[in-house]
Structure 1
Amino acid sequence: MEDTSQVDRSSSLDLFNSLQTRADVLVQEVRSYQAHINQQKREYEVGSRTFVRDTEAEVSSLKKLNPSTTPSDVAAPQNVDRNVEEEEGPRLTTLRSSNLPFFFLVRGVAKKCRRVTAIRVKIGWKEPKNTIGQNAHHQMSMTQENEPASLQKRSVFVDVVAEGGLEWIKVSTLNEKRLLFEMAKEGWEKYSGSDDGTATDSEDDDLQERDPGAGKLELVRLAENLARAAKATRVRFRHPHIKFVLPNIREGVLKDIDSFIAEIRSTGAVVVCGKDVDQFLADGRLDLDRMMPVTADASLTSTINVDETILLALISDICHLSPQQLCSIPTRGPRGAPKTHYKSIANQIAEEQEAPMLRDELYPLLTGRDLDCTAIAAQRFRKIVEKMATSSEQKRAAILLGEGQYKDQPLSVLREAFGEGSLHCVPDSIHFPVRIIQVDIEELLAAGGDPAATNALVCKGFPTSIAARTKDTIRHSTILSSAFLYGWARQVTTLTSNRRMANGLIKDINNVLDTEERQGRGYNADFVGPIIHKCKGARSLIGQDKNNEA
Structure 2
Amino acid sequence: MATNPDHHREIDDNQTDHTSTGTARPTAEAEEPNSRTSITLSKQLNQECNDLLSEIDAYSALVASTLRNPQMVEVRQFRTNVNAESKILQKMARQIEAAVEADPSSADPDAEMRLVHALRSSNLPFYQVVWRIAKDSCTGLVALGRRFYWDGESKATVRENMKKAGSQPEKPPNKDKRKSAFVDIVADDGQEWVKVSTVSENRLLFEMAEKGWECDSDSEEEWSEDGKGRTVLQHSDDDEDDDEMELIKLARDLRRAANATRVRYGHPRLRVVIPKIEEGSVPSIDSILTEMRRYGVQVECQDRLPESTGTGLTHLLPQPFKNFTSTLNVDCTILLALVSDLSHIKDIVPTFQLHPAILRQIEVEKEKPLLPSELWPAMSDRELVTTSEAAVRFKEIVETIGTDTEKNRTRLLLGEQPYDNLNREVILQKFQELSDYQVPAGWKLPIKVINAQPVIEAAKEKDELNAVVHEVAKTLSDINNSVFLYGWVTGLTTISSNRTIDKQIEATVEANRQDDDDLKGPDVWICDTARSLVGKDRDRKT
Q: Distance in 2 between matches of 1:252 and 1:549?
A: 67
Are 2:516 and 1:508 equivalent residues in the alignment?
Answer: no
User: For residue 46 of structure 2, what is the aligned residue in structure 1?
Assistant: 20
Q: CA deviation at 1:396?
A: 2.5
Q: CA deviation at 1:469?
A: 3.5
Amino acid at match of 1:48: V
Q: What secondary structure, in the 3-state scheme, does the structure 1 residue paired with 2:290 have?
A: helix
Tell me if structure 2 keeps the 8 A contact 1:419–1:426. Answer: yes
Q: What secondary structure, in the 3-state scheme, does the structure 2 residue paired with 1:249 have?
A: coil
Q: CA deviation at 1:119?
A: 0.9
Tell me if structure 1 keeps the 8 A contact 2:471–2:508. Answer: no
User: For residue 443 of structure 1, what is the aligned residue in structure 2?
Assistant: 457
Correspondence for 2:535 among 533, 538, 543 = 543
Residues 458-502 of structure 1 show CA distances to partners (whole Å, capped at 9, x for unaligned) of: xxxx85444333334x3x422123212212222222121212222
Amino acid at match of 1:530: P
Q: CA deviation at 1:28?
A: 2.2
Residues 107-144 of structure 1 show CA distances to partners (whole Å, capped at 9, x for unaligned) of: 1111111111111222233347xxxxxxxxxxxxx999
Q: CA deviation at 1:372?
A: 0.6
Q: 1:347 to 1:7 in 2, by over 3 A?
A: same
Tell me if structure 1 keeps the 8 A contact 2:409–2:434. Answer: no
Q: CA deviation at 1:50?
A: 1.5
Tell me if structure 2 keeps the 8 A contact 1:227–1:268. Answer: yes
Are 2:80 and 1:53 equivalent residues in the alignment?
Answer: yes
Q: Distance in 2 between matches of 1:4 and 1:549?
A: 65
Q: 1:87 to 1:236 in 2, by over 3 A?
A: same
Are 2:307 and 1:293 equivalent residues in the alignment?
Answer: no
Are 2:266 and 1:238 equivalent residues in the alignment?
Answer: yes
Are 2:22 and 1:9 equivalent residues in the alignment?
Answer: no
Q: Distance in 2 between matches of 1:410 and 1:496?
A: 27
Q: 1:185 to 1:78 in 2, by over 3 A?
A: farther
Q: Distance in 1 between matches of 2:200 and 2:478?
A: 59
Q: What secondary structure, in the 3-state scheme, does the structure 2 residue paired with 1:118 have?
A: coil
Q: 1:257 to 1:369 in 2, by over 3 A?
A: closer
Amino acid at match of 1:541: L
User: For residue 39 of structure 1, what is the aligned residue in structure 2?
Assistant: 65
Q: Distance in 2 between matches of 1:81 and 1:493?
A: 70
User: For residue 471 of structure 1, what is the aligned residue in structure 2?
Assistant: 473
User: For residue 139 of structure 1, what is the aligned residue in structure 2?
Assistant: none
Q: 1:145 to 1:183 in 2, by over 3 A?
A: farther
Q: CA deviation at 1:5?
A: 5.7
Residues 388-446 of structure 1 show CA distances to partners (whole Å, capped at 9, x for unaligned) of: 22333223223322334333343344334434443234433333322111121651432
Aligned 1:112-191 pairs, distance under 5 A: 112=136, 113-127=138-152, 153=176, 154-188=179-213
User: For residue 407 of structure 1, what is the aligned residue in structure 2?
Assistant: 420
**Which TM-score applies when normalising by structure 2?**
0.79
User: For residue 132 of structure 1, what is the aligned residue in structure 2?
Assistant: none
User: For residue 248 of structure 1, what is the aligned residue in structure 2?
Assistant: 276
Correspondence for 1:92 among 98, 116, 126 = 116
Amino acid at match of 2:287: S
Q: CA deviation at 1:387?
A: 2.4
Measured on the aligned residues, the alpha-carbon RMSD in Å equals 3.6
Amino acid at match of 1:506: E
**Which TM-score applies when normalising by structure 1?**
0.78
Q: Which moved more, 1:304-313 or 1:438-447?
A: 438-447
Amino acid at match of 1:64: K
Q: What secondary structure, in the 3-state scheme, does the structure 2 residue paired with 1:422 have?
A: coil
Q: Distance in 1 between matches of 2:505 and 2:389?
A: 18
Are 2:331 and 1:307 equivalent residues in the alignment?
Answer: yes
Q: Distance in 2 between matches of 1:549 and 1:248?
A: 61
Q: 1:81 to 1:194 in 2, by over 3 A?
A: closer
Correspondence for 1:268 among 293, 296, 311 = 296
Q: Distance in 1 between matches of 2:528 and 2:238?
A: 44
Amino acid at match of 2:92: L
User: For residue 132 of structure 2, what is the aligned residue in structure 1?
Assistant: 108
Correspondence for 1:428 among 418, 437, 441 = 441
Q: What secondary structure, in the 3-state scheme, does the structure 1 residue paired with 2:284 have?
A: helix
Q: What secondary structure, in the 3-state scheme, does the structure 2 residue paired with 1:168 have?
A: strand
Q: 1:22 to 1:494 in 2, by over 3 A?
A: same
Q: What secondary structure, in the 3-state scheme, does the structure 2 residue paired with 1:44 have?
A: helix
Structure 1, gaps ≥5 residues long: 129-141, 198-210, 328-338, 450-461
Q: How many residues align?
A: 482
Tell me if structure 2 keeps the 8 A contact 1:234–1:510. Answer: no
User: For residue 166 of structure 2, what is the aligned residue in structure 1?
Assistant: none
Q: 1:398 to 1:143 in 2, by over 3 A?
A: closer
Q: Distance in 2 between matches of 1:184 and 1:315?
A: 69
Q: CA deviation at 1:24?
A: 3.0
User: For residue 202 of structure 1, what is the aligned residue in structure 2?
Assistant: none
Q: Distance in 2 between matches of 1:306 and 1:447?
A: 25
User: For residue 350 of structure 1, what is the aligned residue in structure 2?
Assistant: 363
User: For residue 486 of structure 2, what is the aligned residue in structure 1?
Assistant: 486
Correspondence for 2:381 among 356, 368, 382 = 368
Q: Distance in 2 between matches of 1:151 and 1:469?
A: 33
- Percent identity of equivalent pairs: 34
Q: CA deviation at 1:14?
A: 3.6
Q: What secondary structure, in the 3-state scheme, does the structure 2 residue paired with 1:372 have?
A: strand
Q: Distance in 1 between matches of 2:465 and 2:44?
A: 56
Q: Distance in 2 between matches of 1:358 and 1:169?
A: 34
Q: What secondary structure, in the 3-state scheme, does the structure 2 residue paired with 1:126 have?
A: coil
Q: Distance in 2 between matches of 1:265 and 1:439?
A: 45
Q: 1:359 to 1:38 in 2, by over 3 A?
A: closer
Q: Which moved more, 1:111-120 or 1:535-544?
A: 535-544
Aligned 1:189-200 pairs, distance under 5 A: 192-193=234-235
Tell me if structure 1 keeps the 8 A contact 2:141–2:185. Answer: yes
Amino acid at match of 2:264: R
Q: Distance in 2 between matches of 1:93 and 1:99?
A: 12
Q: CA deviation at 1:162?
A: 1.5
Q: Which moved more, 1:527-536 or 1:287-296?
A: 527-536
Q: What secondary structure, in the 3-state scheme, does the structure 1 residue paired with 2:184 have?
A: strand
User: For residue 64 of structure 1, what is the aligned residue in structure 2?
Assistant: 91
Q: 1:359 to 1:195 in 2, by over 3 A?
A: farther
Q: What secondary structure, in the 3-state scheme, does the structure 2 residue paired with 1:253 have?
A: coil
Q: Distance in 2 between matches of 1:242 and 1:406?
A: 52
Q: What secondary structure, in the 3-state scheme, does the structure 1 residue paired with 2:144 have?
A: strand
Tell me if structure 1 keeps the 8 A contact 2:183–2:193. Answer: yes
Q: CA deviation at 1:106?
A: 0.8
